[in-house]
Chains A and B, each alone.
Chain A
Amino acid sequence: MPPRELRLTPTLFHLLLCLADAPKHGYAMMAEIEERTGGALRPGPSSLYYSLGRLEDAGLIAETDAVAATDDAHEERRRYYALLPAGRRRLKEELAMMAQVLKHARSRGIVATAR
C-alpha cells in the first residue's frame, strides 16, 4: 500500500524542525520542543515515538547511526534520527506556507509587524 500523504500535526512539524540542524535522539527532541514552545507542547514518550514512527513510515526521517554517542558513556545506546531530503522539502513547504499566512495576516493588520 503506498503511504498516504501525512498530515503534519504540530508535534510532527516540531519534530521535523528539531531535526533540521542535526540528527538527534528522541529525548533530546522531547526537551527541545518543550523549550521552544515554552511548555505549550509537551509530547510524552509514547506519542513522541508514535510520531517518529509515522514520520519514518512516510519517508521523511530515518534512523541513523552516523552520530557517535557524545552523551554519558554509561547511558544506553540511543536511537538517532535524521531528516531525509523529502522531510527537508516538506518542512520548507510548511514554513513557506506559514510565512505566507503570516505575511497576509500582517498586511491586514491582524498581527503586529516584526520589529
Chain B
Amino acid sequence: MRDPLHVLVLRLLLRLYPASFRRRHGDDVIASARAAAGAPGGGRPVAVLLDAAATLVRAWALSVRDTAPWLIARRAGSAFGRDARLGLRALRRRPMHGIVVVATLAVALGANAAIYTVTHSLLLDRLPYDSPERIVEVTAPPVRMVMAGGAPSWAVGAALVEHPGVEIAATYYPDASANLVADVEASRVRITQVSPTFFDVLGVQPLLGRGIGPDGATDAVLGYGIWRSAFGGDPGVLGRTIRLNGRSYHIAGVAPRGMDFPAGTQLWLSDPPVGEFFGSALGPSVVARLRPGALGVVRQALAEQADARRADSPEYAHFVHNPELIPLRAHLTQSVRLPLVVLASAAAAVLLLGCVNVAGVSLAQVAARAPELAVRRALGAGGSRLVGQLFAELTVLALLAGVLSVMLAAAAVPLLVGLLPAGTPGLDGVRPGVLTLLFTGAATVVAALVAGVPPALAGARGAGAAAHPDRMRVDERGRQRFQGVLTSVQIALAVMLVVSASLLGRSLVELRAVPLGYDTEHVLTFSVRLPWATYAGAADARRYAEEVRERLAALPGVEAVGVTDRLPLSEGMGVGGFVRRSGASQEAAVSATHLGVNDEYFHAMRIAVLAGRTFARGDDASHVVVLSRQLAQALFGDDAAVGSTVSVRRHGGEVTAVVAGVVADTRLRGVEEPMRPAVYLPLSSGWASSPAFSVRTSGSPAALAPAVRRVLSEVDATVPPSALRTTGAAVEETIAARRATAVVAILFGAASLLLALMAVYTLLAQGVVRRRREMGIRLALGATARQIEAVVVTGGLAWTVAGVVAGVLLSLAATRLLEGMLFGVAPRDPQVLAGTAAAVLIAAALASWIPARRAGRVDPAVSLRET
C-alpha cells in the first residue's frame, strides 16, 4: 500500500525531531497518520502537518530543558579538561615537581584516611545494639540481695528499676571465665552471667534461638566467634549440651556478630553467678536502658538517693558512692578514645603542613614559570584563565594523590590495628570502606584548595606584573615574603608534632625503664582454673599443681618452675590483708597484698632476695613469711626485719610467723600502677582453685609453649592453660596503646620535620638563584665565600626562628591534649621543648647550608656576564 503524500512529508519532518523522540514515537506517529488517512475524512493532511511542525518545536524545547544542565557541566568540564591537559604538559617538563607534590599529599592524605578508618570503626561505627545512646553502664549501682533457687543473688535496686526514666535494667557479672569442653579440645572462655533482661536492655536479638529464658538456669548463649570456631557455625547447635568446668549447660541461642558486651565475652550464662567462675567474689555490674532524654533526671535521682543514704548512716557514709551513668559507647571506647583523638589531630596537622608545603613548592614553581605565564597573558589569556590553569594543575596532582592515599591507607590500616591492644572491641576486619573514600575525597578537595589557591592567585598576579619589569620586582619580593611565611608555618607545625612525638616517645622509654622487680625475658607464665567438681578441696588442687610442676621441671630447657596463686599483671583483684609487727597495735598494721608462692617462685621470676632467705620445701605460713622491701620498710624501718615476727591477718584469722627474708618490690597490677607492699606466704598453707605457674627457661620461652600445653593436657585434658605468654609479652600488652600512639606520632614528627626542612631549602635555594648576580658582585668586591654563606644562612634563619618560636607556643597549647597519655614527663617539659627547638634550628641551619655553599661558590666572572 502506498502512503499518501502528507504521510511522506511527515516522515521527512520526523527526521528533524530530537533523536530521542524519533526513536520512541516515530513508528507510532506514522502508523497513526496512516490509520487516520484510511479513515473517512482522509485524516486532514494539512492539519496533520501543521500539528507535526508545532510539535517539532515543543519536542525540541523539552529536550533542551532536560539536557541543558548536562551540556553546561560538559562545557565547564571541557574547560577544566583543557586546563588540566595544559597543566600535565607543564608537569611533564618538570616531573620532579609533580612527583614531590603527589608524594607529599598522598602520604598526608593516606595517614588521615588510615586513622579515620580506625577511628570511625571504633568511635563512630554503629554498635550492634538498638538505640545505643539510651544504654548506660551504672557504676556503684544500687542493688539488693535476693534469693534465687536457694542461692543468694543480686537484683537491680528499686531506685533504678522503679524510676520512670528507666525502661529496663539488668545485672551482669563480668571478668569471669571457665573451661569449655565442647567437641574440640578444651579452652578457657570468657563468660558473663547475666539476668534474663540483659539482652532486652541491649536490644539484641539472638542470631539463632531465643536467648536466656527467665528460668533458664542452664541456658547458654554462644558468642558469634566461638560459634564459628568451636562449633563450625553449625545452625543445628541449639539444644546441644556444653560443659563448663564440668557443669552442663544447654545452648539456647547464638549472639549476632559484633555482640561482645561486656568486652571480650564469648559466652553468656544465666545468673545467679557461679562462684567458681570468678577470681574473687564481686558485686554485679548494672546496665540499663533509659527512656529518651531521661539521662539527667535518672542521674539526679540516683545522686539524691546516695545523699539520703549517707545522711541515714553516717558511719557508712564513707562507703556510699554516687552512682554514675556512663553511656555505652563511652564505656566501651574509653581506653582508646584519647590515643585516637591525639592521632587524628596529629594527622590533621600533618595534612595541613603538607598542603602548606605544596603551596610553597608550587609558589616557587610559579616564580620559575613567570616568563611563560607572561607570554600567555600577552597572548590573551585572562587572569582567571591563568588561575584556572594553575589550579587545574594542582587539582590533577591532588586527585592523583587522593587515589594513591586510599591504597596507602589500605596498606596502613592493618599495621595500625596491629599496633593497638589486642582485643580492643570493634577492630575485627577494619578496612577502608565507602566512608573512607568519601572522607578522603572531601579531604582531597580541601587539600587542593589550601595548596592550590595561593600559588594560582600569585601566579596570575605575577603574570600580570611581568609585563612591567619594576612592578614585577615588587611583586617578586612580596611573593618571596609570602613563601617565607609559609615556611615559618611549616616549621611551627613541625615543632609541635616533634614535641608531641618526643613527649610520647619519652613516656614510652620511661615506662620501659620502670623496674618491674621480675624478669621479662626468660619466663613463661600461665594460669589454670580447676573445676570444683573434680578438684573439691585444697588437697586435690595441690596434687594437680605438684604433678604439673614435676612434669614441667622434667622438660629439657626448664630451670625452675614457680607456682603461685596470683601472677603479676594478671586479671582479678588479688587478696589483701593487714600485717603488723608482733606486739604492735592494730593501728600500726599495714595493708599488703597476699601472695602464696612455692619455693622456686622467686628464682623462676628472678625476684631479687635482699636479705635472709626465701622459702624451702616444707615451710608453711604458720612459721615463716617473706616480705617485700616496701613492707619491711613500713613495718621495721631501718631495723632488721629478718628473724622478727609479724602477725598476718588471713582468712579471718591471724597467724604469727617469722620473717625469713626480704625481696625486691614487684609491680603486680601494671607498669603504671604504684607498687604496693606485699607479703609472700608459702603456697602449701592455702591452695587456690586457680593456681598459676611461672616457668624459667634457659632458651626461648615461646618455644616451650607447645610442650607446656602437652603436659597440661596429659595431666587433665579438661583444664586448658590461659594467658600462656612470657612476662615480657604481658608487659607489652599493658602498654600497647601507648606504643601505638608513640610509634605513629614519631613517624608523623619525622615526616613533618622533613617537609619543613625541604621548605627551608627550597626558599633559600631559590633566593640564591635569584641573587646570583648580587653574590657575584659581592665576591668581586672582595667578600669571602664564608661571608656570602653567612648572608644566605641568616636570611633563612629569620623565618626559621619565627617558626620555631610559633611552634613552641603552639606546643604549649597543644600538648595539654596529651596530658592523660604521658608517663614520667610533664606536657610542658622544658627539656623536651628546648631540645626540640634547638634540634629544629640546627637541622634548618644545615638545610640552609647546602644552598649557601652554592652561593659561596658563585664564580663572579660567570655570574656578572649573565643578564
- By a beta-carbon cutoff of 8 Å, the part of chain A in contact with chain B is 1, 26-27, 30-31, 42-50, 52-54, 76, 78-79
Docked-complex contact B47 and A46, CB < 8 angstroms:
no
Residues of B within 8 A of A46 (CB): 10, 13-14, 29, 48, 51-52, 54-56
Docked-complex contact A53 and B32, CB < 8 angstroms:
no
Task: Give A65 Cβ to nearest chain B Cβ, in Å.
Answer: 14
> With A and B bound together, what is the CA distance between A44 and B50 in angstroms?
9
Docked-complex contact A50 and B21, CB < 8 angstroms:
yes
Residues of A within 8 A of B10 (CB): 45-46
B2 within 8 A of partner (CB): no
Task: Give A54 Cβ to nearest chain B Cβ, in Å.
Answer: 8
Docked-complex contact B28 and A43, CB < 8 angstroms:
no
Residues of A within 8 A of B14 (CB): 46
Residue from the list B44, B58, B59, B62 in contact with A42, Cβ < 8 A: B44
Docked-complex contact A49 and B54, CB < 8 angstroms:
no
Task: Using A42-B44, A42-B47 as known contacts, say yes or no to A47 and B31 having CB atoms under 8 A apart.
Answer: no
Closest 3 CB pairs of A and B: A44-B51, A49-B25, A46-B55
Task: Using A43-B51, A44-B51, A44-B55 as known contacts, say yes or no to A49 and B44 having CB atoms under 8 A apart.
Answer: no
Docked-complex contact A45 and B66, CB < 8 angstroms:
no
Docked-complex contact B36 and A27, CB < 8 angstroms:
yes
Residues of A within 8 A of B617 (CB): none
> With A and B bound together, what is the CA distance between A78 and B29 in angstroms?
11
Docked-complex contact B21 and A79, CB < 8 angstroms:
no
Task: Using A27-B31, A27-B36, A50-B58 as known contacts, say yes or no to A44 and B47 having CB atoms under 8 A apart.
Answer: yes
Task: Give B570 Cβ to nearest chain A Cβ, in Å.
Answer: 63
> With A and B bound together, what is the CA distance between A54 and B59 in angstroms?
10
20 contacts between A and B (CB under 8 A): A1-B66, A1-B69, A26-B31, A27-B32, A27-B35, A30-B32, A30-B36, A42-B44, A42-B47, A44-B33, A44-B47, A44-B50, A44-B55, A45-B30, A45-B52, A46-B10, A50-B59, A52-B25, A54-B62, A79-B28
Residues of B within 8 A of A53 (CB): 21, 24-25
> With A and B bound together, what is the CA distance between A93 and B730 in angstroms?
76
Main secondary structure of the interface of B (DSSP, over half): helix
Docked-complex contact B31 and A78, CB < 8 angstroms:
yes
Docked-complex contact A47 and B44, CB < 8 angstroms:
no
Q: Which residue of B lies closest to A31 (CB)?
A: B39
Chain B residues 780 to 803 lying within 8 A of chain A, measured CB to CB, are none
* Given pairs A49-B25, A53-B25, 6 additional interface contacts (CB within 8 A): A1-B69, A44-B51, A45-B30, A46-B56, A47-B54, A78-B28
Q: Which residue of A lies closest to B33 (CB)?
A: A45
- By a beta-carbon cutoff of 8 Å, the part of chain B in contact with chain A is 10, 13-14, 21, 24-25, 28-33, 35-36, 39, 44, 47-48, 50-52, 54-56, 58-59, 62, 66, 69
Q: Which residue of A lies closest to B47 (CB)?
A: A44
Task: Give A49 Cβ to nearest chain B Cβ, in Å.
Answer: 4
> With A and B bound together, what is the CA distance between A78 and B33 in angstroms?
13
Residues of A within 8 A of B29 (CB): 45-46, 48-49
> With A and B bound together, what is the CA distance between A48 and B30 in angstroms?
12
Q: Which residue of B lies closest to A4 (CB)?
A: B65
> With A and B bound together, what is the CA distance between A43 and B51 in angstroms?
8
Task: Give B597 Cβ to nearest chain A Cβ, in Å.
Answer: 77
Task: Give B50 Cβ to nearest chain A Cβ, in Å.
Answer: 8
> With A and B bound together, what is the CA distance between A45 and B44 in angstroms?
11
> With A and B bound together, what is the CA distance between A79 and B26 in angstroms?
12
Q: Of residues B35, B58, B59, which shows the largest number of chain A Cβ atoms within 10 Å of its Cβ?
A: B35
> With A and B bound together, what is the CA distance between A90 and B562 in angstroms?
87
Task: Give A11 Cβ to nearest chain B Cβ, in Å.
Answer: 11
Docked-complex contact A45 and B32, CB < 8 angstroms:
yes
Docked-complex contact A49 and B32, CB < 8 angstroms:
yes
Q: Which residue of B lies closest to A50 (CB)?
A: B55
Residues of B within 8 A of A45 (CB): 10, 28-30, 32-33, 36, 48, 51-52
Docked-complex contact B24 and A47, CB < 8 angstroms:
no
Residues of B within 8 A of A43 (CB): 51
Docked-complex contact B28 and A26, CB < 8 angstroms:
yes
Q: Of residues B28, B29, B32, B62, which shows the largest number of chain A Cβ atoms within 10 Å of its Cβ?
A: B32
Task: Give B386 Cβ to nearest chain A Cβ, in Å.
Answer: 35
Q: Which residue of A lies closest to B51 (CB)?
A: A44
Task: Give B274 Cβ to nearest chain A Cβ, in Å.
Answer: 62
> With A and B bound together, what is the CA distance between A49 and B28 in angstroms?
8
Task: Using A44-B47, A44-B52, A45-B51 as known contacts, say yes or no to A50 and B25 having CB atoms under 8 A apart.
Answer: yes
Q: Of residues A27, A43, A44, A54, which shows the largest number of chain B Cβ atoms within 10 Å of its Cβ?
A: A44
> With A and B bound together, what is the CA distance between A52 and B55 in angstroms?
12
Docked-complex contact B25 and A47, CB < 8 angstroms:
no
> With A and B bound together, what is the CA distance between A31 and B40 in angstroms?
11
Residues of B within 8 A of A50 (CB): 21, 25, 55, 58-59
> With A and B bound together, what is the CA distance between A30 and B66 in angstroms?
27
Task: Give A44 Cβ to nearest chain B Cβ, in Å.
Answer: 3
Q: Of residues A45, A52, A76, which shows the largest number of chain B Cβ atoms within 10 Å of its Cβ?
A: A45
> With A and B bound together, what is the CA distance between A31 and B32 in angstroms?
10
Task: Give B51 Cβ to nearest chain A Cβ, in Å.
Answer: 3
Residues of A within 8 A of B69 (CB): 1
Task: Using A49-B25, A50-B21 as known contacts, say yes or no to A44 and B48 having CB atoms under 8 A apart.
Answer: yes
Residues of A within 8 A of B13 (CB): 46
Q: Of residues A44, A46, A48, which shows the largest number of chain B Cβ atoms within 10 Å of its Cβ?
A: A46
> With A and B bound together, what is the CA distance between A99 and B8 in angstroms?
44
Residues of B within 8 A of A30 (CB): 32, 36
Q: Which residue of A lies closest to B30 (CB)?
A: A45
Residues of B within 8 A of A76 (CB): 31
Residues of A within 8 A of B55 (CB): 44, 46-47, 50
Q: Which residue of A lies closest to B13 (CB)?
A: A46
Residues of A within 8 A of B59 (CB): 50
Q: Which residue of B lies closest to A71 (CB)?
A: B35
Residues of B within 8 A of A54 (CB): 62
> With A and B bound together, what is the CA distance between A50 and B66 in angstroms?
15
Task: Give B63 Cβ to nearest chain A Cβ, in Å.
Answer: 11
Q: Which residue of A lies closest to B59 (CB)?
A: A50
> With A and B bound together, what is the CA distance between A54 and B32 in angstroms?
18
Task: Using A45-B10, A50-B25, A53-B25 as known contacts, say yes or no to A26 and B51 having CB atoms under 8 A apart.
Answer: no
> With A and B bound together, what is the CA distance between A54 and B24 in angstroms?
12
Task: Give A99 Cβ to nearest chain B Cβ, in Å.
Answer: 30
Q: Which residue of A lies closest to B55 (CB)?
A: A46
> With A and B bound together, what is the CA distance between A91 and B452 in angstroms?
56
> With A and B bound together, what is the CA distance between A114 and B44 in angstroms?
35
Residues of A within 8 A of B25 (CB): 49-50, 52-53
Residue from the list A27, A47, A78 in contact with B51, Cβ < 8 A: A47
> With A and B bound together, what is the CA distance between A41 and B32 in angstroms?
16
> With A and B bound together, what is the CA distance between A52 and B21 in angstroms?
11
Task: Give A79 Cβ to nearest chain B Cβ, in Å.
Answer: 6
Q: Which residue of B lies closest to A56 (CB)?
A: B24
Residues of A within 8 A of B47 (CB): 42, 44
Q: Which residue of B lies closest to A47 (CB)?
A: B55
Task: Using A45-B51, A50-B58 as known contacts, say yes or no to A26 and B32 having CB atoms under 8 A apart.
Answer: yes
Q: Which residue of B lies closest to A76 (CB)?
A: B31
Task: Give B443 Cβ to nearest chain A Cβ, in Å.
Answer: 30
Task: Give B5 Cβ to nearest chain A Cβ, in Å.
Answer: 15
Q: Which residue of B lies closest to A78 (CB)?
A: B31
Task: Give B65 Cβ to nearest chain A Cβ, in Å.
Answer: 9
Residues of B within 8 A of A42 (CB): 44, 47
> With A and B bound together, what is the CA distance between A48 and B48 in angstroms?
11
> With A and B bound together, what is the CA distance between A1 and B114 in angstroms?
36
Docked-complex contact A48 and B32, CB < 8 angstroms:
yes
Residues of B within 8 A of A44 (CB): 33, 47-48, 50-52, 55
Task: Give B613 Cβ to nearest chain A Cβ, in Å.
Answer: 89
Task: Give A45 Cβ to nearest chain B Cβ, in Å.
Answer: 4
Residues of B within 8 A of A27 (CB): 31-32, 35-36
Residues of A within 8 A of B28 (CB): 26, 45, 49, 78-79
> With A and B bound together, what is the CA distance between A42 and B21 in angstroms?
21
> With A and B bound together, what is the CA distance between A22 and B4 in angstroms?
31
Task: Give A35 Cβ to nearest chain B Cβ, in Å.
Answer: 12
Task: Give B40 Cβ to nearest chain A Cβ, in Å.
Answer: 11
Q: Which residue of A lies closest to B70 (CB)?
A: A1
